[in-house]
Amino acid sequence: MTDTQNAPLKGRRVAVLLGGPSSEREVSLVTGEACAAALERLGAEVIRVDAYRDVADKLKAAQPDVVFNALHGEWGEDGCVQGVLETLGLPYTHSGVLASSLSMDKAKAKAVLAAAGVPVPGGGLYDRHQVAADHVMPPPYVVKPNAEGSSVGVFIVSEGANRPPAEVGLDSWTYGEEVMVEPFVRGLELCTTVIGEATGPRALTVTEIVPTTGWYDYTAKYAAGGSEHVLPARISPEIHERCLRIAERAHTALGCRGVTRSDFRYDDINDLLVLLEVNNQPGMTPTSLVPEQAAHTGMSFDALVLWITEDAYARGVAGGRAD
């Protein structure tokens, strides 16, 4: 085996953006470190960049060949950092400015997806004080920030609940003046990874998520033992295929590139499958779903990180932004 095969990224400088100012900082630090370690195993010279508002200055000093964006949440995956990277002329991983902005804005993403024929829940945006004061729809329903991830700030209002979530009306609420309220869809929690290859997006498989904490909240997503991942999901071949095709359609409709993860709810009693959201920069932590699905299809963690990085670099070369 040659040195190039042992170290396919030898001679490549990769800046890994991690941490940042969002509420998902801790998750991003874990994702970023895991990806940085993989890049080093692949032979790259890695510069870890804790990405705050001075990120442009840090990147100018680092002079990377490509940027691996491992940020999560506001500013890091909503089009803001992507705009900085476009201005600097640096190739970067995951989706571009528009697709990132759309994917992060739940209301706008839902409108685009519905127009593309993707089944999504009902509901809409409401003033947070109105939601805190009274039920805006009959329970059960879900209240969530319009532009956050990792289940941050999400409340499930159970059937028969007397009161709405008062927390969204407090002065300490920092997730926007409008919140998304959707009917709660009972049933299975499913997810599908899509890799946006040059020949078109390719969905990998379907995972069933069984939380041990009641529902798939922040703890269930990131704490060891917080949830059980059943892979492949315990669903019929027909529903499995529907998840794959819907995830690919959603990836395309939002204009995403690189890797995305689509999250579903499947009501097996009423045969209702809805897409909850598309994560345009899914987690790459030890408990994350995307690396697990990739491994299930024969792609190791390092191979996945290599594909994401080379995909970004190739787009930069094609766009005249890399040597």
319, pLDDT greater than 50: yes
Sequence ranges of the domains in the chain: 3-94+301-309, 103-119+186-280, 124-183
**Residue 323: band (very low, low, confident or very high) from pLDDT cuts 50, 70, 90:** very low
Query: Annotated catalytic sites, by residue?
Result: 24, 150, 222, 261, 263, 277, 279, 283
Name the average pLDDT for the chain.
Answer: 90
**Residue 53: band (very low, low, confident or very high) from pLDDT cuts 50, 70, 90:** confident
**DSSP run (H or E) holding 39:** helix 25-41
C-alpha–C-alpha distance, residues 151 and 242, integer Å: 24
Which pLDDT does position 67 carry in this prediction? 98
Model confidence over 61-70: pLDDT tens digits? Answer: 999 999 999 9
Share of the chain above pLDDT 70, in %: 90
Which pLDDT does position 116 carry in this prediction? 97
142, pLDDT greater than 50: yes
At residue 11, the 3 state secondary structure works out as: coil
Model confidence over 182-239: pLDDT tens digits? Answer: 999 999 999 999 999 877 999 999 999 998 765 444 444 444 556 899 999 999 999 9
Sort 41 into a burial class: Cβ within 10 Å, 0-12 / 13-18 / 19+: middle
C-alpha–C-alpha distance, residues 69 and 57, integer Å: 16
Mean pLDDT of all residues in 140-152: 79
**DSSP run (H or E) holding 91:** none
C-alpha–C-alpha distance, residues 107 and 113, integer Å: 10
Which pLDDT does position 213 carry in this prediction? 66
Which pLDDT does position 226 carry in this prediction? 63
Model confidence over 259-310: pLDDT tens digits? Answer: 999 999 999 999 999 999 999 999 998 779 999 999 999 999 999 999 999 9
Q: pTM of the predicted model, to two decimals?
A: 0.88
Mean pLDDT of all residues in 148-159: 78
**Residue 79: band (very low, low, confident or very high) from pLDDT cuts 50, 70, 90:** very high
Instruction: Please give the order of strands across the beta sheet that includes 188-197.
Output: 227-230, 200-211, 188-197, 258-267, 272-279
C-alpha–C-alpha distance, residues 285 and 33, integer Å: 9
CATH superfamily for 103-119+186-280 is ATP-grasp fold, B domain (3.30.470.20)
- CATH class assigned to 124-183: alpha beta
Q: Give whichever of 21-25, 94-98, 161-165 has the largest mean pLDDT.
A: 94-98
Model confidence over 161-171: pLDDT tens digits? Answer: 889 999 999 99
Which pLDDT does position 315 carry in this prediction? 84
- CATH class assigned to 3-94+301-309: alpha beta
